[in-house]
């Protein structure tokens, strides 16, 4: 795991936007895994800005969103599809046919979840999965005790998540059911970057990075992936025991990379 601690969240946004820009420059039809929530909002604004300036061309990029509420219409303001179009897709030159969301309708859900995973696979897998994190360590809607081997499926949300997400549920028939990429789906991405802001996430970040892998803190499973970056602000990093060590590694990264290149 590479832990990158920034003085404030604006620098986190700079860093993640740069990662995405570099990836798309290198691979114009990159496959991105995308989150919703409050944390990525500034990242989406930054990416829109880069799109408008011509620094990123999204015209061949493919995207897969992490999750969606069950049985919610795309035009419902609580839906993640609505969020994504309002906050990102409507403002960039991405093609509609390259945007993918997990199925929301419960009819044929097993089949459609399998199809979702299969479509990701058929496009060569997710090049870069971007994650937020819940205070309870969920990634996507993989709540505590999710199978670490899970694929895209229906999950029942915890009371804590329901409260925090503060969803407007009028007209939504099954407010605590969501469809999420599974943990295995997430782990099958080539690279993963998790971003977090603020003290509210400090405990979850500590469990993710420095405590044993376990289903009670689903994000801890990221320790099992070869290419993970955790990019966070000082407050989200405040409970990390080895904080100074991570900072030292990061400050010497350019030097060490050059050294290894020279020797090999």
Tell me which residues touch ligand PGA (CB under 6 A): 37-39, 132-134, 138
| Cα(13)–Cα(39) distance, integer angstroms | 10
User: Among all residues, whose Cβ is closest to ligand PGA?
Assistant: 37
Q: Quick one: tokens of 6?
A: 């920034």
Instruction: Mark whether 138 is an active-site residue.
Output: yes
DSSP string, 225-239: -SSEEEEEETTTTTT
The residue among 194 and 240 lying less far from ligand PGA, judged by its C-beta, is 194
| Cα(118)–Cα(140) distance, integer angstroms | 18
Instruction: Mark whether 91 is an active-site residue.
Output: no
CB neighbour list of residue 151: distance below 8 Å, 6 or more residues apart: 113, 114, 117, 181, 182, 184, 185
The residue among 172 and 236 lying less far from ligand PGA, judged by its C-beta, is 236
Q: Which of 71, 136, 197, 233 is catalytic?
A: 136
Q: Which of 68, 71, 127, 143 is catalytic?
A: 143
Instruction: Mark whether 244 is an active-site residue.
Output: no
Q: Which of 138, 142, 197, 233 is catalytic?
A: 138
3-state secondary structure of 132: coil
Least distance from ligand PGA to the Cβ atom of residue 257, Å = 31
Least distance from ligand PGA to the Cβ atom of residue 66, Å = 8
The residue among 98 and 133 lying less far from ligand PGA, judged by its C-beta, is 133
Least distance from ligand PGA to the Cβ atom of residue 132, Å = 3
Least distance from ligand PGA to the Cβ atom of residue 34, Å = 12
Q: Quick one: tokens of 30?
A: 């990159």
Phi and psi torsions of 209, nearest 5°: -95, -40
Please return the burial class of 257, using the count of CB atoms within 10 Å of its CB with bins 0-12, 13-18 and 19+: exposed
Instruction: Mark whether 21 is an active-site residue.
Output: no
Active-site residue list:
67, 136, 138, 143
């Amino acid at each position: 795991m590479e832990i990158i601690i920034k003085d404030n969240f604006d620098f986190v946004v700079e860093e993640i936007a740069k990662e995405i820009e570099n990836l798309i420059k290198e691979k114009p039809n990159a496959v991105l895994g995308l989150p919703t929530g409050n944390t990525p909002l500034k990242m989406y604004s930054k990416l829109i800005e880069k799109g408008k300036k011509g620094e990123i061309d999204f015209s061949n990029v493919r995207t897969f969103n992490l999750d969606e509420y069950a049985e919610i219409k795309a035009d419902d303001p609580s839906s993640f599809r609505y969020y994504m179009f309002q906050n990102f897709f409507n403002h960039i030159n991405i093609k509609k046919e390259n945007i993918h969301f997990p199925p929301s309708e419960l009819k044929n859900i097993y089949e459609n979840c399998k199809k979702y995973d299969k479509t990701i696979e058929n496009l060569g897998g997710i090049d870069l999965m971007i994650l937020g994190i819940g205070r309870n360590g969920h990634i996507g809607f993989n709540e505590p005790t999710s199978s670490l081997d899970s694929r895209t499926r229906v999950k029942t949300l915890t009371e804590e998540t329901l409260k925090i997400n503060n969803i407007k549920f009028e007209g939504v028939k099954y407010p605590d059911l969501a469809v999420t990429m599974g943990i295995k789906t997430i782990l099958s991405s080539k690279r993963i970057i998790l971003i977090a802001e603020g003290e509210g996430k400090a405990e979850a970040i500590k469990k993710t990075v420095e405590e044993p892998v376990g289903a009670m803190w689903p994000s801890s499973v990221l320790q099992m992936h070869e290419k993970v970056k955790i990019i966070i602000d000082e407050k989200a990093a405040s409970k990390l025991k080895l904080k100074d060590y991570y900072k030292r590694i990061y400050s010497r990264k350019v030097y060490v990379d050059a050294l290894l290149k020279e020797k090999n």
